[in-house]
């Protein structure tokens, strides 16, 4: 049995029922499953040990919040062992897709097997407190390997690192999805130079998509309204309505300040996507086009 970190908070087992009702077919496009640790051990090199968060708890949450599908993202605490993720995808009966983490050692047969289970992307993590970042030539080798399967790349980085990563990102050959808006510093203006650089990446590279997720990780003003995050997310949703995704980030790994109420996170959506049209693009049309393209031949 793995001992959970003392300072890691357990997800809220009884989140509030959101007032906002998501449109039919809504996708929670950023969430995780963890363990159970005795079946799917956490990575020896992990930087934090989470509490177990099972696939069944995720399916229950999805129903409670009014969503129909999930995109499950491999988090750093499971390293490159994607078995818990694949196990959840197989159990989901086509209602979940996955984002895996791999190294250059992976062979084509293993990639094919993950594809059959529902994996559609790899995640490149540049957050140094979470991982030892892979060298760029390894990342490019992985990027080339996954193109055959039509997968895309999900990147996770912090805003202060964007200037030195910008050209590398801009040259990536697939669709690229940015986690949590590239973690902007929300104490500065959403129209200021730092977030302008991120907006420029989105504007000049139409293969870039953005998850307008995790106000709880970014906010200084705090829950439940996370007001200071609103102008950042709104700027992205309004300027790039066809390339945005949203997710709960359940079970909120490695959160130390507070444990968000998933119901409040869903109620945040109309503040960042104020019209029914924007909400449908954010929650239904965009994630389904990216992760279930076979249902959307056009």
75 binds ligand 0GY (CB under 6 A): yes
Residues 115, 174: Cα–Cα separation, whole Å: 16
76 binds ligand 0GY (CB under 6 A): yes
33 binds ligand 0GY (CB under 6 A): no
Q: Which residue stretch of 75-83, 197-205, 271-279, 287-295 sits at the interface with ligand 0GY (rule: CB under 6 A)? A: 75-83
Residues 242, 250: Cα–Cα separation, whole Å: 24
Q: How far is the CB of 188 from ligand 0GY (least distance, A)?
A: 20
263 binds ligand 0GY (CB under 6 A): no
254 binds ligand 0GY (CB under 6 A): yes
248 binds ligand 0GY (CB under 6 A): no
Could you give the residue numbers annotated as active site? 249
156 binds ligand 0GY (CB under 6 A): yes
Identify whether 36 is preceded by a cis peptide bond (ω within 30 of 0): yes
List Cα–Cα distances, 148 to 111, 143, 225, in angstroms: 10, 10, 42
Residues 61, 84: Cα–Cα separation, whole Å: 18
Binder of ligand 0GY out of 27, 29, 61, 77 (CB under 6 A): 77
253 binds ligand 0GY (CB under 6 A): yes
Question: 53 — phi, psi (to 5°)?
Answer: -140, 100
Contact 89, 265 (CB under 8 A): no
Closest CA to 245 of 291, 198, 213: 213
Contact 124, 139 (CB under 8 A): yes
Q: Which is nearer to ligand 0GY, 77 or 245 (CB)?
A: 77
Q: Which is nearer to ligand 0GY, 218 or 280 (CB)?
A: 218
Residues 279, 292: Cα–Cα separation, whole Å: 18
Q: How far is the CB of 38 from ligand 0GY (least distance, A)?
A: 20
Strands (DSSP E) found in 219-287? 244-245
130 binds ligand 0GY (CB under 6 A): yes
- Binders of ligand 0GY in range 100-129 (CB under 6 A): 125
Closest CA to 32 of 61, 92, 75: 75
49 binds ligand 0GY (CB under 6 A): no
Q: Which residue stretch of 69-77, 140-148, 188-196, 219-227 sits at the interface with ligand 0GY (rule: CB under 6 A)? A: 69-77
Number of helices and strands in the chain (H, E): 11, 8
Query: DSSP secondary-structure letter at 145?
Result: H
Q: Which residue stretch of 16-24, 134-142, 147-155, 248-256 sits at the interface with ligand 0GY (rule: CB under 6 A)? A: 248-256
216 binds ligand 0GY (CB under 6 A): no
Which residue ranges make up the site for ligand 0GY (CB under 6 A)? 75-77, 125, 130, 156, 179, 217, 249, 253-254
């Amino acid at each position: 049995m793995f001992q959970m970190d003392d300072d890691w908070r357990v997800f809220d087992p009884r989140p509030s029922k959101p007032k906002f009702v998501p449109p039919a077919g809504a996708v929670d496009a950023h969430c995780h499953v963890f363990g159970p640790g005795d079946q799917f051990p956490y990575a020896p090199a992990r930087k934090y040990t989470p509490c177990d968060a099972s696939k069944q708890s995720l399916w229950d949450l999805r129903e409670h919040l009014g969503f129909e599908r999930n995109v499950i993202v491999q988090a750093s605490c499971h390293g490159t062992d994607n078995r818990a993720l694949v196990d959840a995808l197989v159990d989901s009966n086509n209602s979940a897709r996955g984002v895996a983490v791999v190294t250059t050692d992976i062979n084509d047969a293993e990639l094919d097997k993950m594809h059959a289970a529902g994996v559609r992307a790899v995640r490149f993590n540049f957050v140094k407190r979470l991982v030892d970042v892979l060298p760029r030539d390894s990342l490019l080798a992985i990027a080339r390997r996954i193109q055959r399967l039509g997968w895309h790349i999900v990147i996770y980085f912090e805003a202060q690192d964007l200037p030195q990563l910008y050209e590398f990102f801009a040259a990536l050959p697939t669709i690229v999805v940015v986690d949590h808006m590239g973690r902007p510093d929300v104490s500065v203006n959403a129209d200021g130079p730092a977030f302008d650089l991120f907006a420029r990446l989105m504007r000049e590279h139409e293969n870039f998509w953005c998850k307008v997720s995790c106000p709880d990780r970014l906010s200084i003003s705090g829950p439940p309204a996370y007001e200071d995050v609103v102008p950042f997310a709104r700027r992205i949703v309004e300027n790039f309505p066809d390339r945005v995704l949203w997710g709960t980030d359940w079970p909120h790994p490695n959160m130390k300040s507070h444990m968000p109420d998933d119901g409040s996170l869903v109620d945040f959506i109309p503040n960042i996507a104020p019209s029914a049209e924007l909400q449908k693009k954010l929650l239904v049309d965009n994630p389904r086009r990216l992760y279930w393209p076979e249902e959307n031949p056009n």
